[in-house]
Structure 1
């Protein structure tokens, strides 16, 4: 009898506990049913910057959303932005300033006017600072030259590094005005029109560490001096002027090959015999003060820095050449000497010598008082091997005289 009474009491206690548990569960379900949640953020776009970042928060169409709150640093920091709904999928933007450089984890919730909140949305992002800036490198300016007419500066750049979006360039034009231009990341050759000669140009590289970045990062400025103005003489106006004492051509290598813009064979060749020096005369078509001369010597077949290529030479100028081939009406403009870069003995060259010769040898006319001349006489005083014939592949001249 006692056992039956004990069993009945236990059964009743268990039933009471079950009823209480079910009652609490029903209460919890009712609580969930009564609780209101706002719609969560659909998309988070993290836009990094310099010691700051911006969050673009794309909201769903829940019209009750009035605020968006963002937590970071394990919820020790937070910020909030108000929302004005338009009935569409609005985007709220939140700028977070004064952040240390590094990676961040963000928790984002929406709230309505009554304080009801959404389920959390999570995002990660990076903030860039001085450590990142210290890794950025400027582009290398490989060279600055002029167009043939001298009207534009041609800039040749190294390739852009990863993350670079271009170059910011500042220079002064011919009227002394500051000009600014941008060189795209894909450009390795660019032009500066209307420049002031010998002025300072400066440039710096622009970087975006992320396609969504809100700040453009830059390197320090580098400087370069723009070239002096000069223009290449129009060689289509050049003509041979054969005077009585001038050397003739030989082997079909005629004088017009000197200015045909073909830097390979054939060029101009004089016949052997007659001793040294030998000279020939060119009508440039206009009277100019020459500033620079460049010639390309014969290279292939063992001729480079050898045989009849000029070793020492003179350039003379006149506006009224002596009809008898004399020198009375001529003035010396240049003493020139061809120099082999390696300094190796005659008949021996290296790759640098050949590359230098293929690029052409350059000589400058010195002095501000040089006369403007229409005719030049190229006088070969000595050849590399001492032979009394001479040859060249191409000849170009520049002047600082403006048209």
Structure 2
């Protein structure tokens, strides 16, 4: 019985060996046709970099010094290019630019050949070619705010957010400065604000957006230039609630305004900003406070030629407002005033000074809608715009009805604009 079992095991072993030998032979025959078939070394590390109607194919020849040519084909082999390869002893680079392609996604097959026509196993890579359809889909980055503050000629542009999947990379911008020089600026897509120093008032800036459709793309795309004229901001901190840079109790100093010492008559050297009535603009004397003599609160701006209006919108012109001319015995004189240069004329000189470009005497008899100054300049100038006053302090006698305790001038807001803007 044992003997028969050994014969059975032997036969099974022979059958298994025969089956395995046949399988190996089949595999071998796949590589043999009229003799052994030889394969060249394939291209390694294959990459494709898209561009405008073109694509760059890159790879490495790592081994096999017999390689003499490389074939790149696409459109299922309907299109191809055969490239001579000059192999060295080390690693060589494939870098070939295929041009004149239609905008589309492509699958590329790459093989190598030797001098006898033996070829490698295929390597495959996909890539995208961009063109007019992609370019026409691009939009310029939107602008949220483009403002030029006439006080320092630095234009601040705030750009909106965009879809980063579009490939947007940044902004190119050109503008003219006050010397007539064209400046070029770049803003990364990671940033939102761009400041343009010494901007020429009235001139547009031009900008376009830059797109790189994929990492390491070989071409950059641009939108068309858009021209924008910034809106001019002539005054800062010009309405209720006015902001302050310092305060003590009720009184403070107005932010963005120049306030001279004559106005700072309240505790801590404050004046001009008043917490009462919703943080209002107010120059106040009396009610125990001293007089204001040649007090000035103003801003300095740069203006181009044109006609302008400066307007104050008072809370009231009733009780406590700087008085009518019938009350000049106290020496009160208050003005809305525009002066040439970097300061306002003195109160006593406003009506006669050649530096005065325009003024309005503040009187109770004037309707609030008429608290405005219009003036014209024929050349670019630096100009001071604001309020100047001399007004009594202490307790005011009853001979001035309705103003028995002092003087104040509450401003809710200021307007300043250029005609025909």
- 1:108-156: CA deviations, max 9, x gaps? 1012233221111112112112111121110122223346862532221
- State the distance in 2 between where 1:374 and 1:28 align: 94
In structure 2, the partner of 1:123 is: 125
Matched, 1:198 2:202: yes
When the two chains are superposed, the root-mean-square deviation of aligned CA atoms in Å is 5.3
Residue 374 of structure 1 deviates from its aligned partner by 9.2
- State the distance in 1 between where 2:72 and 2:295 align: 81
In structure 1, the partner of 2:45 is: 43
Shift in alpha-carbon separation, 1:97–1:375, aligned structure 2, 3 A:
closer
The total of aligned residue pairs comes to 322
In structure 2, the partner of 1:333 is: 359
Matched, 1:391 2:410: yes
Q: Do 1:280 and 1:377's aligned partners in 2 also have CA atoms closer than 8 Å?
A: no
TM-score, structure 2 as length reference: 0.59
In structure 2, the partner of 1:319 is: 345
Q: Which has the higher contact order (CA 8 A, sep 6+)?
A: 1
Q: Report matched runs for 1:3-402 at 5 Å.
A: 31=33, 34-146=36-148, 150-162=152-164, 163-226=167-230, 237-239=258-260, 241=262, 255-257=271-273, 265=279, 268=282, 270=284, 282-283=295-296, 315-316=336-337, 319-322=345-348, 332-333=358-359, 366-368=375-377, 376-377=387-388, 390-392=409-411
- State the distance in 2 between where 1:179 and 1:337 align: 47
Can you give the 5+ residue segments of structure 1 that lack an aligned partner in the other structure? 1-20, 243-247, 274-278, 340-362, 380-387, 399-403
TM-score, structure 1 as length reference: 0.61
Q: Do 2:358 and 2:373's aligned partners in 1 also have CA atoms closer than 8 Å?
A: no
Larger strand percent? 2
Shift in alpha-carbon separation, 1:37–1:181, aligned structure 2, 3 A:
same
Residue 83 of structure 1 deviates from its aligned partner by 2.8
Can you give the 5+ residue segments of structure 2 that lack an aligned partner in the other structure? 1-21, 238-254, 322-333, 339-343, 391-406
SS in 2 for 1:196: coil
- State the distance in 2 between where 1:74 and 1:288 align: 69
Shift in alpha-carbon separation, 1:62–1:143, aligned structure 2, 3 A:
same
